[in-house]
Structure 1
């Protein structure tokens, strides 16, 4: 997958899925997604729509809608109206979780702009997320009751993951706890996008199940890679400030693996990482020590395990341009770490 000549509707981004006809169908689908998203986000009073639009068009990859559109290619009716609605509802729920997460994390910035809680207050941010969930419910009701029931399970899993993260490992293995949280918080919504895309395009149950499992694995890959980038990226290339998670006291997979090491770096890290790091010097020291461990390499090994799981599902799906594009998209996610 490379940048090509077919424009997507957002920010001048160009998308090439390796097949001209597929690229055009997905690009056209994304135009429909963006139009419906704007329509639903601008429903209601002005003082509400101002808030719910705040993050929606401030960046973001639209990864979930693209996943839905690509998986719809495995059915006889790709990119139809219900596929587009499914794509939009996954993006709207994702946006809602960002508003709520920023309140819980007391975040100041999101997608390069002020977070809603920083610009207004926590109550406004929570209510903006709630409005998005209300609009999502309306969209689901326009599709069918099976979608409503499916998404109820998805949302329960997502909230369970958030609660699990909030409660902490409680004596359980920290790495297993982290992976379970990621599967529930990130993997489940990408799995949902894949499921809805395939099902509403008319794919058979076996294909829908393969798409869902593939999406779940890709979601975990996506999150672990983001966590690796937070620690080890060059800020000039990634646009991110290394160690943001450390400042918040969030210990992600590469950090957890580093803390397990019976080395001098591992020992010093265990003494240093007892909570959020508030001093720049401590963050820099932690980053230096992390680079002396195998935390990054072991996290990438875990990424490759989930990548292999995604590829097994792709092997079971029909061959063709959409399958090739999903493989390339998955590999591109991994290549972000260099």
Structure 2
């Protein structure tokens, strides 16, 4: 099975060999002559993953000539870029695990993990250079947005700025931008019309925000065996998520004694695993998590609407199935 719920056996049969080719090229691309760099670069590739972004590239390419070799190369670029961001994100968030395995910084330390992420960004640049100037510009613009998203998440909203709107922009930059680029690369490399390229790009941006809002829910309501990450990592590191922002808004508007106490505990010392688990459990049962799930649903619906004018068929149905699956995983 693929990471995307295709919902069509014939389309899936067409895409799976292409995804296997992407996987082969990905492993070739991360290989390093230096033994340490080779081990660190392969760490997350070997841990697996959903391969969501390259699959979206392959799917979008089915709207044009999906057999072009440039499509596979573009799919490798977006996954390399994604992997590079994970090395950096885990250092920023002090995440102990990733994809069910120890994070790279837990094994080799922060500096090595950051440099490994830089190496993978460099490899992505080498691959994208073979796809022409437009692809290089797109990759550079995406990289810029990824960095801005991380920067704005780190420093938080300006005084007087709406915290929820700020967070949505962070999600659009940190997650939506690369998912949008994944779809855009597929359509571009397959020779689709500018209108189709723009539609699937918009879809990717909206679906990316929905995806991350769903992750905010899953982080609180799933266990480490399901997600491959320790629940409550963002809470412990003080990283804002939609449920916490909605809780803050409730408390600012008055709130209940229980809500004020929960927020105080969230802002307190969460270094003890038992304390963190208790806070996660209490927050997971609060209505703000259901509100976050509803927001994920809204963004998924917007994603579906953005491709409504595509020709009816397997690809459009797969786009809709994926948007629906985003909602289901956070329900």
Fold match by TM threshold 0.5: yes
Question: Please, which runs of 5 or more residues in structure 2 have no aligned partner?
Answer: none
Per the alignment, residue 30 of structure 2 pairs with: 41
Q: Which runs of 4+ in 1 moved over 4 A?
A: 234-241
Check if 1:213 corresponds to 2:213.
no
Q: Are the equivalent residues in 2 in contact too, given 1:225–1:336 (CA < 8 A)?
A: yes
Deviations 1:212-231 (A, max 9, x none): 01011111111111110111
Q: 1:184 aligns with which of 170, 173, 180?
A: 173
Q: Are the equivalent residues in 1 in contact too, given 2:142–2:178 (CA < 8 A)?
A: yes
Q: Which moved more, 1:138-147 or 1:260-269?
A: 260-269
Per the alignment, residue 329 of structure 1 pairs with: 322
Check if 1:114 corresponds to 2:107.
no
Secondary structure of 1:56 counterpart: helix
Shift of 1:145: 0.7
Q: Are the equivalent residues in 2 in contact too, given 1:249–1:277 (CA < 8 A)?
A: no
CA–CA distance in structure 2, aligned partners of residues 89 and 97 of structure 1: 13
Per the alignment, residue 158 of structure 2 pairs with: 170
CA–CA distance in structure 1, aligned partners of residues 103 and 326 of structure 2: 25
Q: RCO higher in 1 or 2 (8 Å CA, sep ≥ 6)?
A: 2
CA–CA distance in structure 2, aligned partners of residues 43 and 231 of structure 1: 37
**How many residue pairs are counted as aligned between the two chains?**
326
Q: Are the equivalent residues in 2 in contact too, given 1:69–1:79 (CA < 8 A)?
A: no
CA–CA distance in structure 2, aligned partners of residues 113 and 240 of structure 1: 9
Structure number having the greater helix percentage: 2
Structural mapping, 1:168-317, within 5 Å: 168-171=156-159, 172-233=161-222, 241-261=230-250, 262-275=255-268, 277-291=270-284, 293-317=286-310
Q: Are the equivalent residues in 1 in contact too, given 2:53–2:78 (CA < 8 A)?
A: yes
TM-score (norm 1): 0.90
Deviations 1:176-219 (A, max 9, x none): 12111111000100000000001110110010000001011111
Per the alignment, residue 83 of structure 2 pairs with: 95
Query: What do you get for the CA RMSD once the two structures are aligned?
Result: 2.0
Structural mapping, 1:54-69, within 5 Å: 54-69=43-58
Per the alignment, residue 127 of structure 2 pairs with: 139
Shift of 1:62: 0.2
Deviations 1:214-263 (A, max 9, x none): 01111111111111011123566556543232222223101211232222
Per the alignment, residue 30 of structure 1 pairs with: 19
CA–CA distance in structure 2, aligned partners of residues 282 and 167 of structure 1: 26
Shift of 1:322: 1.0
Q: Which moved more, 1:90-99 or 1:292-301?
A: 292-301
CA–CA distance in structure 1, aligned partners of residues 133 and 25 of structure 2: 20
Q: Are the equivalent residues in 2 in contact too, given 1:231–1:242 (CA < 8 A)?
A: yes
Compared CA separation, residues 264 and 213, structure 1 to 2 (3 A) = same
Per the alignment, residue 150 of structure 1 pairs with: 138
